[in-house]
Chain A
């Protein structure tokens, strides 16, 4: 009995010691799917990490791990981070969903934040941005500017977020240009510059003069620049070094305010498991400057759309809309609910091809 008390006391002491140490410095971990120098997705998450460091200075310590494969490796990295005393861990790719949930169950005192997923727990929040709002603006510009009426789309994985983007871009391109056709390549990677460049070239060779990408590197931009007369949009990051041509605008993910707020919440002890899904209105999604390569009237329309979405007056998925198989989805004026959008696994009417299962 005595020995047990002793053990308990020791455990308590260690526990207190740990807690006291943690109060000194809040340790925030980040797990990235690509290198921080990818110029896109991971780059912006890392900017968010730097903003956390800047906001809290000495009170915070950040650690990060780059290019972590989605799968068993992620679980190992997460466990390692949790063991090394992280108080809050951001896992920044869809494929980390199950690893995050698994590791979170083993470390109930560590807070986890998973980007773009849909599984939560008491110590796991989810957060994402409404990228499809930006896709609507891209679709509008693309539909107006294409001359071949063929728009190439480099998709990554068949997950709801990517499918939402394709649908949103298609709806708005089709609206302004009924003849528009989407050619979609599934790259099955978030980051593989050579493959992305090849995909862009294949699309351009098949007549596409607009390339939309949902992969993270700037390789498609470079391929478009080489081909000339092809326009692109920056993905996740501004990719401004390719402006004004081929990059005519971009979707920028701005995670910094969210990361700072959540770190603050951990410090205050007010952290709760929540589901955050913000868009243009809160600034989590920003539209990069629309370059002069876009005609002035198209630019004005695009900006008006940004304004309307930001003010909540316009929703990119507003009926009447049908699914690809011709069945009704949204009635006239009806707006898609977040549940359907979060789990979107179908194309809208007019898109050709099948979503890989």
Chain B
């Protein structure tokens, strides 16, 4: 065992990269759930975003355009979910699961000709003096733009939900759609917009995998990241800041367990491999131990079908 071979600075830098796809997907899903919709199709939207982003980036040579199209692709797919659940009033859980399966299949089909191709490189931000700072440099100032964008997005979501009128309306729709409807808010329209935002974020998260973190296209490459994002939203009890915490915690343990293994720590590997999931479950249990408080945090109309009867 040689723990000195683990460099904490690199560890933190790579945990941020490992956490970014989950963070993006989770912050989008949080907004969707805040609007009272439970979309279990995060995995499907992520992988669709991954393949859309990859195809566009390869064809145009521009990763930035790839990310834009990934967000569009995720949003379009989520619109399918939106129409089914909001207008046709299908069951949200079943539709969400269906969306995941559909997304996995669709992405495999779209990606047929793109296996084994390399994506155009995404430049890391190289800030002259700042990137060369000893400890802070690698951790804070030498990532790609998406890492900063994801953190900025979390801050923006937090601010909008907390301080803006739009955020207030979104929360009202999620807490009690009948009351919001009675006040004259377009519940379905607001929810559709939230669903599309969630789809776009999941698409960005997927594209981060296929364009930066892995970076290439392989079928099924999200490998469950969407489900983790869903768990993190509950873990965060629908608070933006805690989503960031949850995603970084999960990413951190994922990276740490690999580093511990490589350093030859004498903990059985099985425990290390399951640790990210185990700790996520553990925190979920602790968070929801106090039933009344957990229930207070969840949006009141989460997962309920809205039908404007009057």
A residues at B contact (CB < 8 Å): 34-35, 37-39, 66-67, 152, 183-189, 191-195, 197-199, 201-203, 205-208, 217-219, 222-223, 226, 239, 241, 352-354, 356-357
Contacts and interface: CB of A to CB of B under 8 A. Distances in A.
B243 to A, nearest CB: 19
B90 to A, nearest CB: 27
Nearest to A201: B14
Contacts of A35: 108, 218-220
A185 B262 CA distance: 6
Given A205-B10, A218-B218, A183 B223 contact: no
A192 B11 CA distance: 20
A198 B254 contact: yes
B218 A39 contact: yes
B216 A152 contact: no
B117 A205 contact: no
A357 B111 CA distance: 38
Contacts, number: 114
A206 B112 contact: no
Contacts of B5: 206-207
Interface residues of B, number: 40
Contacts of A152: 262
A155 to B, nearest CB: 9
B261 A184 contact: yes
Interface string B203-241: 000000100011110111111010000000000000000
B18 A198 contact: yes
Contacts of A222: 118, 214-216
Nearest to A221: B216
A66 B108 CA distance: 11
Contacts of A207: 5
Contacts of B270: 188, 356
A188 B258 CA distance: 11
Contacts of B112: 37
Contacts of B11: 205
Contact of B221 (A188, A194, A205): A194
Given A37-B108, A37-B112, A39-B116, A197 B214 contact: yes
Interface of B: 5-7, 10-11, 14, 18, 21, 108, 111-112, 115-118, 209, 213-216, 218-223, 225, 254-255, 258-259, 261-264, 266, 268-270, 273
Given A37-B111, A67-B220, A202-B258, A188 B214 contact: no
8 contacts: A37-B112, A37-B115, A191-B218, A191-B220, A194-B209, A194-B214, A201-B14, A219-B216
A212 B195 CA distance: 42
B10 A194 contact: no
A85 B268 CA distance: 44
Pairs A-B, 5 closest by C-beta atoms:
A35-B219, A202-B258, A37-B115, A356-B269, A192-B223
A14 to B, nearest CB: 35
B269 A38 contact: no
Contacts of A226: 215
B266 A202 contact: no
B309 to A, nearest CB: 43
Contacts of A223: 214
A354 B268 CA distance: 8
A183 B262 contact: yes
Contact of A202 (B14, B118, B223): B14
A357 B271 CA distance: 11
Contact of A188 (B14, B115, B117, B269): B269
Given A205-B10, A241-B117, A353 B218 contact: no
Contacts of B21: 194
A183 B264 contact: yes
A354 B254 CA distance: 20
Contact of B14 (A34, A194, A205): A205
A195 B6 CA distance: 18
Q: Which of A39, A152, A193 has the most CB of B within 10 A?
A: A193
Nearest to B217: A37
Contact of B273 (A38, A186, A197, A357): A186
Contacts of B115: 37-39
B223 A37 contact: no
A41 B187 CA distance: 49
A206 B259 CA distance: 8
Contacts of A194: 18, 21, 209, 213-214, 221-223, 225
